[in-house]
Structure 1
Amino acid sequence: MAIQSITALAPSESLFKTDKAMQPTAYEAQQNFGNYLKEAINDLNSKQQTSDMMTEKLVRGDNVELHDVMIAAQKATITLNATMEVRNKVIEAYQEIIRMPV
């Protein structure tokens, strides 16, 4: 098995170019950010639903492993906590911007 040199993974100059044509407009950046938030919330929702579904199956006595239920519940909890922390940081940043003198 050959080991590749890490110098081949060095960042290229094209990554650091500030070409005006490559930069998105303010509207595009806003749309991209909005889409990112929608995807994150949809992911959170799907993990919560999966956790709820697996918990219901366990309560009904269906063929589901307890460790799978616990893993799904922990994934949902961690995702919810991360989402809440991001929300708190966004609110904190917004409040800081509002407090800035004009």
Structure 2
Amino acid sequence: MDPISLQSPFNPTQGINPIKAESITPGEAQASFKAALSNALSEVNTMQNESSKKTEDLALGKPVELHDVMITGQKASVSLQATIEVRNKVVEAYQEIMRMQV
């Protein structure tokens, strides 16, 4: 269930579908965010483990292609950097909310 979908990036009449906030409860939003975050962290962890395994296999002289090791390492690095940036944005948003006066 993807609430936002782009029909065509070049057609201004087909934009982003609006999200109907009244149809999602805060509990559902929290559960959805938690599941998405857990899934993303799990995928990053899997990529890191796969990269470590291939690097270890290469170091031990097992039959593994060098380009596979390098590609896997770069994928793991990029996914980790993206995760760090998302975390930084979440922390910034939290800090901004905490600075708000009520």
Instruction: Say yes or no: TM over 0.5.
Output: yes
Do structure 1's residue 100 and structure 2's residue 100 form an aligned pair? yes
Between the aligned partners of 2:78 and 2:93, the Cα distance in structure 1 is 23
Give the structure with the larger helix fraction.
1
Cα pair distance change 1:16/1:82, threshold 3 Å:
closer
Deviation beyond 6 Å, 4+ runs, structure 1: none
Q: Secondary structure at the match of 2:30?
A: helix
Do structure 1's residue 31 and structure 2's residue 21 form an aligned pair? no
Aligned-pair identity in percent equals 48
- Alpha-carbon RMSD across the aligned residues, in angstroms, is 2.1
Alpha-carbon deviations, 1:47-80, whole Å to 9, x = none? 0000000001000111100000000000000000
Runs of 5+ consecutive residues of structure 1 not aligned to the other structure:
1-5
Task: Answer 1 or 2: higher relative contact order, Cα 8 Å, separation at least 6.
Answer: 1
Give TM-score scaled by structure 2 length.
0.80
Runs of 5+ consecutive residues of structure 2 not aligned to the other structure:
1-7
Count of residue pairs brought into register by the alignment: 91
